[in-house]
């Protein structure tokens, strides 16, 4: 990592001080120099500097607002990426974070998301279909059949879920009030940190969406249908100035679309690989998709809890 540290002017005596953390899009190495500890990210696939620049600028704005996120480190020439031995790398300031945990305090989640949604950056761009379009009953049925044929242990669970997925996807409606959002606020990317708050990271997928739709996705991830946690999260979000609201089942459109694409992608990766280690890794994603599943009943419980929070705030005793 010495060459990478030199490219980003991170200091002398650069050395790796732990195992890399692997994500879906890359791996992050902890690197210590004589100046500080850094996070060095190596993307699995080549990234385009110009395409990544708007999201890096948004992450820098978030950092400037005092929200805990790793500082973006640029090369002395102002570039996001450095190429060393044919590999791309990015550099960030280090933040000590805990393991991923969707059971983190819902009050802290509501506060964080409210602050993010108040930034209010707008772009002239369409919302990516990943966040708006259904997978479709034909694709779900075909995936369930293929997984069954190839002996996947989650095939039966997916087959049982197909009809519910079709009902969920019928609820999808277009986003309305668009602004730049993180769009990937799953527990993997929102962690407790050493100072007792939450750190948000991985801004590569940021872009336009409806903040109400992102709020609904966050409610699913950090409550898993628990009405008390949903009430606490929504109360914190509103009290901290969050602009989004849960208007009905259609507000969960982004959650339905995004979870669906994540589940389908996991199934297709499982089918496309013969590597037992990769299959074992991806089966964790399938398990999460099918065990902690989104449902109409779960959506209705969250709507009821969030509406109760809104009423309590509007009519305090």
Q: Mark whether 72 and 185 lie in a shared domain.
A: no
Q: Mark whether 113 and 71 lie in a shared domain.
A: no
Helices 253-272 & 276-291, crossing angle to 10 degrees?
150
Q: Is the model's pLDDT at 147 over the cut of 90?
A: yes
| Stretch 133-161: mean pLDDT | 97
| Residue 317, pLDDT score | 74
Rounded CA gap, 208 and 140, in Å?
27
| Stretch 190-214: mean pLDDT | 95
Pairing of strands 37-43, 179-181: unpaired
Q: How many domains does the chain have?
A: 2
Out of 69-78, 115-124, 144-153, 277-286, least confident range: 277-286
pTM to 2 decimal places = 0.95
| Residue 195, pLDDT score | 81
Q: Is the model's pLDDT at 171 over the cut of 90?
A: yes
Q: What does pLDDT average to over the chain?
A: 96
pLDDT in tens, 228-258: 999 999 999 999 999 999 999 999 999 999 9
Residue 99 lies in a domain: no
| Residue 25, pLDDT score | 80
Rounded CA gap, 33 and 172, in Å?
49
| Residue 237, pLDDT score | 98
Tell me how many degrees the CA angle 262-265-268 measures, rounded to the nearest 5. 155
List the CATH number of the domain containing 6. 3.30.200.20
pLDDT > 90 fraction of the chain, expressed in percent and rounded: 93
| Stretch 17-26: mean pLDDT | 86
Instruction: Please give the full DSSP string across 37-102, using - where no structure is assigned.
Output: EEEEEEESS---HHHHHHHHHHHHHHHHTT---PPEE--TTS-S-EEETTEEEEEEE---B----T
| Residue 198, pLDDT score | 98
Residue 101 lies in a domain: no
Q: Is the model's pLDDT at 24 over the cut of 90?
A: no
Q: Mark whether 118 and 78 lie in a shared domain.
A: no
Where is pLDDT greater, at 54 or 224? Answer: 54
pLDDT > 70 fraction of the chain, expressed in percent and rounded: 100
List the CATH number of the domain containing 240. 3.90.1200
Q: Is the model's pLDDT at 316 over the cut of 90?
A: no
Residue 259 lies in a domain: yes
Three-state SS string over 260-284 comes to HHHHHHHHHHHHHCCCHHHHHHHHH
Q: Mark whether 154 and 34 lie in a shared domain.
A: no
Residue 254 lies in a domain: yes
Tell me how many degrees the CA angle 242-244-247 measures, rounded to the nearest 5. 145
Asked if 142 and 268 count as a contact pair (C-beta separation under 8 A), the reply is no
Q: Which of 53, 68, 93 is the last residue of a domain?
A: 93
The two three-digit tokens of residue 205, written as one number: 């997928």
Structural domain of 66: 2-93
| Residue 294, pLDDT score | 96
Q: Mark whether 302 and 229 lie in a shared domain.
A: yes
The label of the residue with tokens 């668009």 reads 178
| Residue 154, pLDDT score | 96
The two three-digit tokens of residue 16, written as one number: 């790796």
Residue 145 lies in a domain: yes
Rounded CA gap, 143 and 37, in Å?
44
What are the backbone angles phi and psi of residue 221, rounded to the nearest 5°? -65, -40
Q: Which of 63, 93, 123 is the last residue of a domain?
A: 93
Rounded CA gap, 296 and 294, in Å?
7
Out of 30-34, 39-43, 223-227, least confident range: 223-227
Four-residue CA torsion sign, 255, 260, 265, 271 = positive
| Stretch 28-46: mean pLDDT | 95
The label of the residue with tokens 């996001």 reads 80
Classify 108 as helix, strand or coil: helix
């Amino acid at each position: 990592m010495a060459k990478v540290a030199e490219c980003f002017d991170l200091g002398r005596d650069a050395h790796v001080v732990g195992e890399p953390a692997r994500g879906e899009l890359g791996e992050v190495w902890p690197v210590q120099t004589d100046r500080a500890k850094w996070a060095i990210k190596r993307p699995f696939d080549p990234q385009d500097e110009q395409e990544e620049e708007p999201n890096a600028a948004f992450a820098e704005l978030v950092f400037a607002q005092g929200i805990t996120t790793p500082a973006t480190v640029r090369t002395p020439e102002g570039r996001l990426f450095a190429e060393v031995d044919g590999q791309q790398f990015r550099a960030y300031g280090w933040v000590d974070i805990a393991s991923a945990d969707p059971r983190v305090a819902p009050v802290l989640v509501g506060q964080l998301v409210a602050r993010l949604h108040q930034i209010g950056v707008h772009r002239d761009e369409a919302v990516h279909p990943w966040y708006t379009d259904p997978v479709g009953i034909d694709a779900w049925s075909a995936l369930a059949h293929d997984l069954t044929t190839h002996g996947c242990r989650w095939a039966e669970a997916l087959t049982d879920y197909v009809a519910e997925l079709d009902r969920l996807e019928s609820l999808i409606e277009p986003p309305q009030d668009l602004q730049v959002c993180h769009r990937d606020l799953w527990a993997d990317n929102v962690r407790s940190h050493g100072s007792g708050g939450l750190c948000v990271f991985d801004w590569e997928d940021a872009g336009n969406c409806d903040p109400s739709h992102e709020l609904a996705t966050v409610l699913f991830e950090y409550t898993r249908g628990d009405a008390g946690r949903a009430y606490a999260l929504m109360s914190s979000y509103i009290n901290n100035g969050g602009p989004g609201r849960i208007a009905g089942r259609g507000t969960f459109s982004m959650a339905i679309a995004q979870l669906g694409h994540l589940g389908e992608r996991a199934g297709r990766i499982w089918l496309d690989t013969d590597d037992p280690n990769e299959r074992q890794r991806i089966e964790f994603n399938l398990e999460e998709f099918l065990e902690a599943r989104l449902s109409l009943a779960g959506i209705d419980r969250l709507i009821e809890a969030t509406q109760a929070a809104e009423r309590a705030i509007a009519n305090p005793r």
